[in-house]
Amino acid sequence: MAKKKTKQPARKPAKKPPRAPAARRRARVEALDVFGRSPVIKKEGGQIRVLVGKAGLDGHDRGAKIIARACRDAGFEVVYTGLHQTPEMIVNTAIQEDVDVVGLSILSGAHNFLVPEVVKGLEKKGVKVGKDVHVLVGGIIPDSDFAPLRKAGVSMVFTPGASVDSIVSYIREHVVPKA
């Protein structure tokens, strides 16, 4: 007996991801230049370059990504290092990318160790912290730790509840990009 051919069920086409509402799509497109890039804001000779880093074993990167995106949308050039970076890796990236700002997001409570290590590493490589590069720190940092961090060379500390606009404004007001 010959085998009876069974008909295979028709495959359903793969679903496309849902599209953003038309108004959001238009707003996103209108915010880009003709090459699809964010608008660039120049200030006294160049574009502000910001490194956003996650030092140590902290695995919470949502806040860092929000800050990186806000800085990019504000016209800054942004380098995001990703998770689990050592202070040495952040220092090397900051020097290689010739950044104006090093922003560290620390939620693990290790800020009293990690931040001074980054500052010392930058200074060992000949970077004048506070002049050549501003170090900003954000995260869960007790008020009692502000003074030691400022003494170590941190320009500003941002805690939970600080608005993204306040961070961008601080950078605009206090950082002069390298020519």
Enclosing domain of residue 161: 36-174
Considering only CA atoms, which of 67, 98, 71, 54 is closest in space to residue 172?
71
This model's pTM is above 0.85: no
Q: How many CB atoms are closer than 10 A to CB 82?
A: 12
> Is 135 within a domain?
yes
Q: Are 136 and 118 a contacting pair, CB within 8 Å?
A: no
Residue 18 lies in a domain: no
For residue 178, what pLDDT is reported? Answer: 85
Q: What is the pLDDT of residues 61-95, one digit of tens each?
A: 999 999 999 999 999 999 999 999 999 999 999 99
**Average per-residue pLDDT for the chain:** 85
**Helical spans, DSSP H, in the chain:** 22-30, 62-73, 87-97, 111-124, 146-152, 164-174
Above pLDDT 70, what percent of the chain?
A: 75
Section 5-14 average pLDDT: 66
**How many Å apart are CA 42 and CA 178, to the nearest integer?**
11
Give the SS3 label for residue 138.
strand
- CA dist 94 to 65, 66, 118, 135, Å? 17, 20, 10, 11
Domains: count for the chain:
1
Specify if 138 maps to a domain: yes
pLDDT of residue 145: 97
Looking at residue 11, its amino acid is R
Amino acid code (one letter) for 178: K
pLDDT, tens digit, 9 for 90 and up, residues 136-151: 999 999 999 999 999 9
The stretch 37-56 carries a mean pLDDT of: 73
Q: How confident is the model at residue 17 (pLDDT cuts 50, 70, 90)?
A: low
Tell me, rounded to whole angstroms, the distance of Cα 38 from its chain centroid.
15
Query: Residue 10: inside a domain, yes or no?
Result: no
In a domain? residue 13: no
Query: Whose structure tokens read 């900003």?
Result: 136
Task: Tally Cβ neighbours within 10 Å of residue 169.
Answer: 12
CATH of the domain at 127: 3.40.50.280
Evaluate whether residue 14 is within a structural domain.
no
The verdict on residue 31 lying in a domain is: no
Tell me if 21 is assigned to some domain: no
